[in-house]
């Protein structure tokens, strides 16, 4: 074996499975000798069968391309000689080795006996913060030009250049990290040990990068101590010179609405008043609150807390908006991002888990990623790292929740984040952590009383989620595996080893193992019963997720009684188990002081697991056996998933009073802002739902500076049937017809917004029948991938139609040419079958209110405004909004929706007029 000869190979094939007769149609190879490219090889191969249309479209390789080429049999000896005595390197190595070995076997050769390197796996380890590991994603991230994706020669060339970049990265790693990676490498797909040995032999300790050791792990040296909060004279001078009335700066245009917002934020803080500010798109909302917040922070010497709902906005603030603000100031804004303990890595826990020498692939891959990431991260925040699919289970053991295994706070990422927050001008956090901090009085968020809440229309939802509870079978299963048993491993076996000399009674060990087995069996039955209970009663209405409210009448039928009895048995068994755990805890608590740190780590993991089983018992008792008219319990299942893929939820029906008492009362001034806070030009709905009525908050509505009349056309088809006067299939057919007309626009990028997955599916199936529909057709829950991946595919297409539900109505930006048309298929009223919505309707009705006017209509209008807002995201954007639901013109509540539309003419059009409108756009 030549440790320095690498053959980077890629194949194009007629399909995915050599076992099903698929064949190689192209081979591309790049040979690397002594870390330099020495040869490039490319063959077209005659597969002896027709190339499927999909492969032809994907690769551009046609039957005519290969019909005069040699078969694999004729080039087998060349391929075999090329790979023998070399490393076989490929992107997703199993695919390429399976095809090459299958073709070689057919040609009479033995299976290849060579070392392999999978560049997907190696990229995950060496570039742990990258967003994706497809060849196109890696080439883009590493700025490597990829000329012809899905052609073997081009793919092999790009893979070879990526591989050389990865080797360069490996060589830069310090000796302790390389040594640990070498130890882990025996459990990886790639044969890395000889390569790492070679790199380690040539390592010069004197030329190592600067790092520090935390136990056996090399980590990045801290850049500096915590920020100091005393403002300099330059800070104050700069701020005094920034006058709101004459605000201007390089590359920052003057906006009247933004000036107005700055004054309002500053006045609210100075007067210790709460306020709501609706800032329409184009206002410059973010800078509109950032500048006065920093001004006030430095003048008063206190941090300002800024809370967002999404991590995407946090990222935008840190990477885009705050650097823009720094252009206005002589000294940069002191910024700290603060999240819950579970977001931060505990290095000491990682060290102990590494000592367990777990050979599970996901565990090994995750640890390898973390070792490289620790040389790059200053925060230890899990949001920075792209963990493998099983990585979350391992992260739950590694984060800063629970007992902290460190002697120096400088080595704790969470403590460092807290310290930095205390000295910052601006502390960026999220709604959930902000609410948890108030509830637990943890003091992590600086208690200055001044808060800005962006994405404020989600603040009530965050509060409801925060005060609710969730039980899932998956969570139980993870904890059950982690607990293990005294016989077969897991925490109980480790605990026994640590406490062996102190003695744990054989009877107690037997009873705990027995009850854990009983509970495992009972949980399997119980969650499968819940799955069946929901599936028999609910149509598939939302991307395979089915939900069902647990109501008294349902619990009283035969199936409901069986389910309740199952919950009773499970609670009884959990009670017996928990009483025995308490006995074990009493025994171990008395002697835990004699344990070393490794023993304490096991002990506290065990306590955490015990706490989960106790919580599970109490939560099940509350969900099934405690009547509370102010709460709702519901079941959610994955209709196409395993029979135990079930979650149970419990949540209060309203939260306004609790938010008022536990949050707003405790703050001096809270500024809530969003693009959608008003309904019918009034803040009353949002004031009431957030519990602000008794605070008499200030309010300000800022209009958009965009010339909507010039940039947006709002169309309502004349002949679309009223939704309540036709069946869903007919409505879906008409929707598909209108979308197909709109899709005739040159480079059309159409987002169609629905309120149910069922209608997405129906319209998708009808659109597929249109021969005239060119471009990509994407459907949420139908096209493979998460909503984020579907959006990415949509953005990458020159022409496309995307059919989506809730995830696409808000929080998704399609700037510039990414979107030409938004179609509102139906006004976004919550489905009456949605458990939480129905329960809240019933609750309002029972107290004598009008659920439609108090909840259904205003929530629909807020979401409607969000959906319309997807189209125009900058002054350069333009496009068309088409509203298919004619209730916007005919219903008693039509004026409320019409008032939510931007200032643009609303036009009714026949199909013929719509066709002519599209023709005009194409001219």
List the CATH number of the domain containing 899. Answer: 3.40.50.300
What pLDDT sits at residue 246? Answer: 43
More confident call, 861 vs 392: 861
Q: What is the mean pLDDT of residues 836-856?
A: 90
**Rounded mean pLDDT of 49-75?**
92
pLDDT at 876: 81
Same domain, 628 and 718: no
pLDDT at residue number 243? 52
Report how many domains make up the chain: 3
285 annotated as a binding-site residue: yes
Asked if pLDDT for residue 643 goes beyond 90, the answer is no
The pLDDT of 252-276, averaged and rounded, is 90
Q: 315 lies in a domain?
A: no
Task: Locate 500 and state its tokens.
Answer: 């062996």
847/713 same-domain check: yes
Q: Using pLDDT thresholds of 50, 70 and 90, give the confidence band for residue 378.
A: very high
State pLDDT tens for residues 791-808.
Answer: 888 888 889 999 998 888
Length of the chain in residues, anyone? 923
pLDDT given for residue 250 in this prediction = 43
**Rounded alpha-carbon distances, angstroms, from residue 424 to 232, 289, 304, 416, 869:** 14, 16, 8, 12, 33
- 298-322 residue pLDDT tens: 889 899 999 999 887 888 899 889 9
Q: Are residues 569 and 480 part of one domain? A: yes
Q: Does residue 31 sit in the same domain as residue 115?
A: yes
Does the residue 596 lie in any domain?
yes
118 - beta bridge partners?
A: 90
Percent of the chain with pLDDT over 90: 62
Report which of 825, 830, 884 is spatially closest to residue 857, judged by C-alpha positions: 830
CA 260 from centre of chain: 35
Q: CATH number of the domain that 97 lies in?
A: 3.30.420.10
- Of 145, 172, 199, the residue that ends a domain is 172
Across 636-652, average pLDDT = 87
Long-range Cβ contact pairs of 593-598 (< 8 A, separation 24 or more): 594/502, 595/498, 597/348, 597/352, 597/405, 598/352, 598/355, 598/498
Is 348 within the bounds of a domain?
Answer: no
Q: Give the model confidence (pLDDT) of 875-912 as tens digits.
A: 788 899 999 999 999 999 999 999 999 888 789 999 99
Q: Which ranges in 202-333 belong to alpha helices (H)? A: 233-241, 256-271, 285-300, 311-316, 322-326
- Asked whether residue 849 is assigned to any structural domain, the reply reads yes
What is the distance between the alpha carbons of residues 610 and 479, in angstroms, rounded to a whole number?
9
pLDDT of 239 higher than 50: no
Percent of the chain with pLDDT strictly greater than 70: 93
Q: Are residues 527 and 592 in the same domain?
A: yes
Structure tokens that stand for 11 in this block = 């194949």
The residue out of 625, 652, 679 marking a domain boundary is 652
Domain that holds residue 132: 5-172
Cα 617 to Cα 623: distance, rounded to the nearest angstrom: 10
Question: What angle, rounded to 10 degrees, do the helices at 72-83 and 93-106 form?
Answer: 120
The model's pLDDT over 773-789, given as tens digits with 9 standing for 90+, comes to 888 899 988 887 777 77
283 is in an annotated binding site: yes
Q: Identify the pLDDT of residue 235.
A: 55
Q: What is the mean pLDDT of residues 316-340?
A: 88
CA-based nearest residue to 266, from 706, 705, 700, 703: 700
890 among annotated binding-site residues:
no
In a domain, 356, yes or no: no
Per residue in 184-193, pLDDT (tens digit) is 999 999 999 9
**Residue 777 in domain:** yes
Instruction: Determine the pLDDT at residue 740.
Output: 94
Residue 633 has pLDDT above 70, yes or no: yes
Whole-angstrom distance, CA of residue 887 vs CA of residue 895 = 10
Predicted confidence band of residue 242 (pLDDT cuts 50, 70, 90): low
Angle formed at CA 763 by CA 757 and CA 765, multiple of 5 degrees: 100
Mean pLDDT of 60-77: 93
Per DSSP, the three-state class of 638 is: strand
Statement to judge: residues 836 and 903 lie in one domain: yes
Is 284 a known ligand-binding residue?
yes
- What does the pLDDT look like over 715-772, one tens digit per residue? 999 989 988 888 889 999 999 999 999 999 999 999 999 998 889 999 999 999 887 7
Q: What's the whole-number mean pLDDT along residues 178-182?
A: 96
| Region class of 190: left (phi > 0), else alpha (psi between -120 and 50), else beta | beta
Q: CA triplet 798, 803, 806: central angle to 5 degrees?
A: 125
286 is in an annotated binding site: yes
Q: What is the pLDDT of residue 709?
A: 86
Residues 883, 760 share a domain: yes
In a domain, 409, yes or no: no
Residue at 211 is within a domain: no
Do both 648 and 758 map to the same domain?
A: no
323 is in an annotated binding site: no
From residue 453, give the alpha-carbon distance in Å to each of 430, 432, 688.
Answer: 9, 12, 17
Strands in 906-909's sheet, in edge-to-edge order, are 776-779, 800-804, 749-753, 821-824, 879-883, 712-717, 906-909
Nearest to 797 by CA among 753, 749, 763: 749
- For residues 735 and 885, the answer to whether their CB atoms sit within 8 Å is no
Token pair recorded at residue 751: 């987002």
Whose structure tokens read 């565990």?
363
Does 456 score more than 50 pLDDT?
Answer: yes
The pLDDT of residue 525 is 94
Query: Could you tell me if 628 and 722 lie in one domain?
Result: no
726 and 796, same domain (yes or no)? yes
- pLDDT score recorded for residue 245: 45
- If asked whether residues 716 and 647 sit together in one domain, one would say no
Q: Confirm whether residue 279 is marked as ligand binding.
A: yes
Residues 640, 741 within the same domain = no
Cα 399 to Cα 368, 414, 480, 490, distances in angstroms: 16, 9, 19, 19
Of 122, 140, 172, the residue that ends a domain is 172
User: How high is the mean pLDDT of the chain?
Assistant: 89
Local structure of 879: helix, strand or coil: strand
Give the 3-state secondary structure of residue 681: coil
pLDDT at position 1 is 42
- Do residues 227 and 416 touch, judged by C-beta distance below 8 A? no
User: Is 218 annotated as ligand-binding?
Assistant: no
Alpha helices for 449-596 (secondary structure H): 459-467, 473-483, 491-498, 506-535, 552-555, 558-589
Give the model confidence (pLDDT) of 654-686 as tens digits: 999 999 999 999 999 999 999 999 999 999 999
């Amino acid at each position: 074996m030549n440790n320095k000869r690498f053959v980077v190979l890629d194949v194009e094939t007629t399909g995915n499975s050599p076992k099903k007769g698929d064949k190689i149609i192209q081979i591309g190879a790049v040979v690397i000798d002594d870390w330099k490219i020495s040869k490039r090889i490319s063959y077209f191969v005659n597969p002896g069968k027709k190339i499927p249309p999909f492969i032809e479209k994907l690769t551009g390789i046609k039957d005519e391309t290969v019909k005069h080429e040699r078969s694999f049999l004729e080039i087998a000896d060349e391929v075999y000689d090329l790979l023998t005595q070399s490393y076989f390197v490929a992107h997703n190595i199993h695919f390429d080795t399976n095809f090459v070995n299958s073709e070689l076997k057919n040609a009479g050769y033995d299976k290849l006996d060579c070392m392999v390197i999978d560049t997907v796996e190696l990229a995950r380890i060496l570039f742990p913060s990258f967003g994706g590991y497809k060849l196109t994603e890696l080439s883009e991230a590493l700025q490597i030009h990829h000329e012809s994706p899905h052609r073997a020669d081009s793919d092999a060339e790009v893979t070879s250049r990526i591989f050389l970049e990865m080797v360069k990265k490996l060589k830069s790693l310090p000796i302790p990290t390389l040594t640990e990676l070498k130890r882990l490498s025996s459990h990886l797909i790639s044969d890395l040990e000889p390569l790492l040995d070679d790199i380690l032999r040539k390592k010069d300790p004197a030329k190592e990068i600067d790092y520090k050791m935390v136990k056996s792990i090399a980590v990045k040296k801290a850049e500096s101590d915590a920020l100091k909060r005393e403002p300099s004279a330059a800070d104050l001078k700069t701020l005094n010179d920034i006058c709101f009335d004459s605000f201007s700066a390089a590359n920052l245009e003057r906006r009247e609405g933004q000036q107005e917002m700055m004054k309002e934020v500053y006045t609210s803080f100075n007067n210790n008043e709460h306020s709501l500010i609706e800032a329409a798109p184009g206002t410059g909302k973010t800078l509109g609150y950032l500048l006065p917040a920093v001004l006030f922070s430095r003048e008063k010497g206190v941090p300002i807390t800024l809370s967002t709902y999404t991590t995407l906005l946090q990222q935008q603030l840190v990477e885009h908006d705050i650097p823009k603000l720094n252009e206005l100031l002589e000294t940069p804004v002191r910024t700290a991002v603060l999240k819950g303990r579970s977001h931060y890595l505990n290095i000491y826990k990682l060290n102990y888990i590494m000592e367990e020498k777990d050979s599970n692939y996901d565990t090994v891959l995750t640890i390898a990623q973390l070792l490289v990431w620790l040389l790059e991260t200053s925060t230890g925040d899990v949001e920075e790292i792209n963990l493998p699919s099983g990585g979350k289970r391992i992260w739950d053991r590694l984060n800063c929740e629970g007992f902290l295994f460190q002697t120096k706070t400088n080595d704790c990422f969470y403590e460092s984040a807290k310290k930095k927050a205390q000295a910052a001008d601006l502390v960026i956090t999220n709604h959930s952590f902000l609410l948890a901090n108030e509830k637990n009085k943890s003091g992590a968020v600086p208690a200055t009383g001044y808060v800005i809440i962006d994405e404020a229309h989600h603040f009530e939802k965050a509060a409801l989620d925060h005060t609710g509870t969730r039980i899932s079978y998956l969570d139980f299963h993870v904890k059950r595996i982690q607990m293990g048993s005294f016989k077969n491993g897991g925490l109980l076996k480790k605990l026994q080893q640590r406490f062996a000399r102190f003695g744990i009674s054989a009877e107690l060990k037997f009873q705990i193992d027995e009850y854990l087995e009983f509970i495992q069996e009972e949980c399997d039955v119980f969650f499968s019963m819940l799955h069946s209970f929901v599936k028999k009663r609910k149509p598939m209405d939302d991307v395979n997720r089915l939900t069902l409210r647990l109501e008294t009448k349902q619990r009283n039928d035969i199936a409901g009684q069986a389910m309740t009895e199952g919950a009773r048995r499970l609670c009884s068994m959990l009670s017996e188990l928990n009483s025995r755990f308490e006995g074990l805890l009493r025994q171990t608590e008395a002697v835990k002081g004699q344990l070393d740190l490794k023993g304490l780590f096991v002990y506290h993991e065990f306590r955490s697991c015990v706490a989960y089983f106790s919580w599970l018992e109490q939560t099940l008792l509350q969900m099934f056996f405690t009547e509370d008219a102010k709460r709702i319990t519901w079941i959610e299942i994955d209709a196409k998933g395993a029979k135990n893929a079930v979650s149970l939820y419990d949540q209060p029906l309203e939260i306004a009073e609790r938010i008022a008492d536990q949050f707003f009362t405790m703050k001096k001034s809270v500024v809530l802002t969003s693009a959608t806070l008003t309904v019918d030009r009034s803040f009353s709905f949002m004031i009431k739902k957030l519990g602000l009525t008794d605070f008499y908050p200030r309010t300000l509505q800022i209009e958009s500076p965009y010339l909507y009349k010039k940039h947006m056309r709002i169309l309502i088809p004349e002949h679309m049937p009223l939704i309540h006067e036709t069946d869903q299939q007919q409505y879906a057919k008409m929707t598909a017809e209108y979308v197909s007309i709109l899709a005739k626009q040159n480079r059309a990028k159409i987002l169609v917004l629905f309120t149910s997955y069922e209608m997405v599916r129906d319209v998708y199936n009808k659109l597929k029948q249109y021969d005239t529909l060119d471009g990509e057709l994407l459907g949420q829950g139908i096209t493979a991938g998460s909503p984020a991946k579907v959006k990415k595919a949509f953005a990458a297409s020159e022409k496309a139609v995307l059919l989506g539900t809730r995830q696409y109505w808000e929080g998704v930006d399609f700037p510039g040419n990414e979107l030409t048309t938004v179609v509102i298929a139906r006004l976004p009223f919550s489905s009456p079958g949605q458990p939480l919505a129905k329960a809240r309707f019933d609750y309002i009705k029972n107290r004598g209110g009008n659920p439609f006017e108090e909840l259904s209509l205003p929530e629909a209008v807020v979401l409607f405004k969000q959906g319309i807002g997807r189209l125009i995201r900058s002054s350069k954007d333009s496009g068309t909004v088409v509203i298919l639901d004619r209730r916007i013109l005919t219903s008693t509540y039509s004026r409320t929706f019409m008032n939510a539309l931007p200032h643009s003419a609303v036009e009714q059009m026949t199909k013929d007029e719509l066709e002519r409108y599209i023709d005009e756009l194409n001219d």
